[in-house]
Amino acid sequence: MKIIEGGVCAAQGFKAGGIHCGIRKNRSKRDLALIVSDKKATAAAVYTTNLVKGAPLTVTKSNIADGYAQAVICNSGNANTCNANGVEIANEMCSLVAEATGVDAKDVVVASTGVIGEPLSIEPIKNGMAELNESISYNGNLAAAEAIMTTDTKVKSIAVSFEIDGVECKIGGIAKGSGMIHPNMATMLVFITTDCAISSEMLKKALSSDITETFNMISVDGDTSTNDMVTVLANGMAGNAEITSEGEAFSTFMKALNTVTVHLCRSIAADGEGATKLLECSVQGAQSLATAKAAAKAVICSSLLKAAMFGADANWGRVLCAIGYGTTDVDVTKVDVSFKSAKGQVDVCKNGAGIPFSEELAKEVLLEDEIDILINLNNGDFASTAWGCDLTYDYVKINGDYRT
């Protein structure tokens, strides 16, 4: 397995593109993306658990209920959420894709991201559809990745190649996500494509299994978005024997999928609104997997800990505090804590109590842009990892006038 270029266009038979159609006022920012497979693909998706859901999620869920899709359209700048005609607009977006590409409207995944509660006009999308269709190509990954961004500051894209029974397959993805990130079942917007042949049932199984250890383990600000969705399209054009059950081929596919999703998780967490540092919290020695996850997520979500990391302050008591309110079956007198980065590692807590450490070394470790928070509960054999970012002044600045 190796990292390759191409993102959602790395797999055979996938074109992508993106344009500025006028949804966003800033003409220098693309706001409409399209991904199209040369042939119908098996499809799977997971969605936000927020009771308030964007209209595109409702339409997408209906469209891929049969386990198939062939295209993805996504706009940025407007979430198409809490709008009386939201479903109508989302369906019309699918129809516009059908008219332009020949793909059946019921085989279109539709997504929107941006401000909640603002009416979304179909006119810019309708007027830009011809240009959008002309923009797609087998090298159009970057344009599509840019078009789905909102407050993101960096493109999030990756692809890998892998072998199934001697046949080379490829899988790649793009994502957007910077704020309103605290997923539970999906995250932000993530579009993954592969040329591996895999049944829709096994694709759903792979995605549902993977997100419990990846996208559900990241948090930027504790707010679960209304529009979170992860989709995977598999068009089978690599030519491998279709994966229809568990076994070596399925395990290999799962590993490739996980390589893509972990990379995107880290990219999203590192690009949190106003963030200056990526935080990775690794918990081991837990009595159960649920406890390991709860502890890691509690630490990553702690506003006090996130603020301390921004200030490069080794305030390890905030780690224990988060574990204390985030879990129930932990013996806090056994907990060890360390901070680690490219500058080294500093142990700060042993058996639930502080130990002498160099504040100078700790400051040096925590000034790096990637920080590992290492926790050993010393109470079992289970482990888990969560990702997040520091909490900075800029987060408030960005969200203080996000709509206006």
The answer to whether the beta carbons of residues 336 and 378 sit under 8 Å apart is yes
pLDDT level of residue 362 (50, 70, 90 thresholds): very high
Residue 6 has pLDDT above 80, yes or no: yes
Query: Which backbone phi and psi does 198 adopt, to 5 degrees?
Result: -150, 140
Residue 398 has pLDDT above 80, yes or no: no
Q: Which residue type sits at 362?
A: A
Per-residue pLDDT at 88? 97
What predicted TM-score, i.e. pTM, was given to this entire model? 0.88
Catalytic-residue membership of 404: no
CATH 3.10.20.340 fits 278-400, yes or no: yes
Tokens read off for 166? 């001697």
CATH 3.10.20.340 domain extents, the chain: 278-400
Nearest residue to 108 (alpha-carbon basis) of 99, 116, 121: 99
Q: What share of the chain is helix, strand, coil (3-state, %, to 5)?
A: 35, 30, 35
The model's pLDDT over 159-212, given as tens digits with 9 standing for 90+, comes to 999 999 999 999 999 999 865 556 553 347 999 999 999 999 999 999 999 998
What are the distances in angstroms from CA 372 to CA 107, 292, 295, 306, 342? Answer: 42, 16, 14, 12, 9
The residue from 81, 187, 226, 261 that is catalytic is 187
CATH 3.60.70.12 domain extents, the chain: 2-270
Which residue spans within 54-97 are E strands per DSSP? Answer: 68-78
Query: Looking at the domain 2-270, which fold is it?
Result: L-amino peptidase D-ALA esterase/amidase (3.60.70)
| Unique residue bearing structure tokens 């957007």 | 176
Q: Which of 37-41, 46-50, 290-294, 317-321 has the lowest mean pLDDT?
A: 46-50
pLDDT level of residue 382 (50, 70, 90 thresholds): very high
The model's pLDDT over 329-347, given as tens digits with 9 standing for 90+, comes to 999 999 999 999 999 999 9
| Average pLDDT value for residue range 368-391 | 96
Q: Which residue type sits at 185?
A: M
Residue 115 has pLDDT above 90, yes or no: no
Q: What is the rounded distance in angstroms from the CA atom of residue 188 to the CA atom of residue 333?
A: 37
The model's pLDDT over 242-281, given as tens digits with 9 standing for 90+, comes to 999 999 999 999 999 999 999 999 998 888 778 899 999 9
The answer to whether the beta carbons of residues 194 and 169 sit under 8 Å apart is yes
274: helix, coil or strand? Answer: coil
The answer to whether the beta carbons of residues 357 and 348 sit under 8 Å apart is yes
The model's pLDDT over 47-76, given as tens digits with 9 standing for 90+, comes to 987 888 889 999 999 999 999 999 999 999
